[in-house]
Structure 1
Amino acid sequence: MNPTAVLHGGFGLMVLVGFLISDPTLRIGAFGLGVILFVAGIVVARRGDE
């Protein structure tokens, strides 16, 4: 499976979890982890282009 797709799928999952969690600290953590996964997916995609 494509690692970029897995990382971007993780991003989508973390955003969904962030919307479902009511605790503000965990919500920010889920969104933050989602952003990290999204950026990591972009980095992996760029490395594959070289």
Structure 2
Amino acid sequence: MTAAVSEAARKAGADEVVLFTDVANPTSNALYRRLGYRPMAEFVSLDFGGGGDIA
């Protein structure tokens, strides 16, 4: 599905296709690299709402 959507976006004229992934998942990241994706940045999401969980 990722390959098909990425290809459709490029054929439709997209200059860039962005994919957010879990950097801790080597299986999916290897697949994404084979599809032409490359790492750009890592993000951290912080919730200061008092829930105590950090995502």
Normalised by the length of structure 1, the TM-score is 0.31
Higher relative contact order (Cα pairs below 8 Å, separated by 6+ residues): 1
Larger Rg computed on CA atoms = 2
TM-score (norm 2): 0.30
